[in-house]
Amino acid sequence: MSHKHAGSLHAADAEMAINNARDVYTRRQEGVSLWVVESKYITASNPEESESLFDPAEDKIYRHPTFYDLPDELEYI
C-alpha cells in the first residue's frame, strides 16, 4: 500500500498524532491507513537536485513492458 505525504500537525505523542491526522486529513476518505513520523527524523532529497536524481530514468524506456514488440493476436501477455 503506497503512502503519500498528507500534511503536518502538532501532537504530544504518536497516538495523538494519529488521531489528529485522522480528523484533519481524512475527512473525505482520503486514506485507509496513516503513518506519522516526527519531522526531525525526515531526511529529504534536495528539490534542486531533482534533475540529476530523476531525469536519468527518462531515457530508459526498455524498463517498461511496452518497449518489447509482440504480435497483437497474442493473449494474456
Partner 1 sequence: MTEITSLEERFQAKIDADQRIEPRDWMPEKYRKTLIRQISQHAHSEIVGMLPEGNWITRAPSLRRKLGLIAKVQDEAGHGLYLYSAAETLGVERDELIDQLHIGKAKYSSIFNYPTLTWADIGAIGWLVDGAAIMNQVPLCRCSYGPYARAMVRVCKEESFHQRQGYEIMLTLCEGSPAQKAMAQDALNRWWWPALMMFGPNDAESTHSAQSMAWKIKRFSNDELRQRFVDMTKPQADYLGITIPDPDLKWDEEKQKHDFGEIDWDEFWKVVKGHGPCNKERLAARVKAHEEGQWVRDAAVAYANKKVNKISNNSQVA
Which residue ranges make up the site for partner 1 (CB under 8 A)? Answer: 7-13, 16, 23-24, 27-28, 46-48
Closest CB 45 distance from partner 1, rounded Å: 11
Question: What is the C-alpha separation between 11 and 16, in angstroms, rounded?
Answer: 6
Q: What amino acid is encoded at 19 in this protein?
A: N
Closer to partner 1 by Cβ: residue 24 or 53: 24
Q: Give me the least distance between CB of 4 and partner 1, in Å please.
A: 12
CB-nearer residue toward partner 1: 45 or 66: 45
The cell for 68 is 518489447
Residue 32 half-sphere exposure, CB side, CA atoms within 13 Å? 2
- Least spacing, CB of residue 8 vs partner 1, in Å: 5
Query: Which alpha helices (DSSP H) does the chain contain, by range?
Result: 14-25, 50-54
